[in-house]
Structure 1
Amino acid sequence: MHLLKRNNLRPNKLLNSKWTAVTPANKEKHFLVIKLCAAATPDEPVTHVELEAVYSGRVQLLPWRALQDAAQWHQGWKT
């Protein structure tokens, strides 16, 4: 039986959290959650987050659940 390693997260606590990409691309390794995105109304649950790369300032939209994949993301800034 193969178990996936997951980061335990609560989407409403993700704003301003720091993340490290397990496999950096374009020298973008460290990211900051700069925005929580919900459906149409503010009382809807969070569906996506906006991540800003510290190195380049590039912003990407990502389903927040993608951050639960410990094979892709580590919580905090790691070296």
Structure 2
Amino acid sequence: MTCRKDILAVARILSQQSADGTFATQDVVAALRARGTTHLDTTIRRHVSSEMCRNATGSTAARYHDLERVERGRFRLL
């Protein structure tokens, strides 16, 4: 599976487990590690905070509109 698909799978679970539907980047990394992912932590963090984040800034930002940053280090699934 791609890193993005793996992140989306755990993001769905994490958002259901949270009272406000948000999760931290480290929660995603830990969940993927527990699943035995081969993706590097840096790749996972980059996808969450930049490539998959609708309101991210930068050259590779908001490539996909899967997540939204709600506060520093916390995201919500769109």
TM-score (norm 2): 0.27
Q: Which has the larger share of strand? A: 1
RCO higher in structure (CA 8 A, sep ≥6): 1
TM-score (norm 1): 0.26
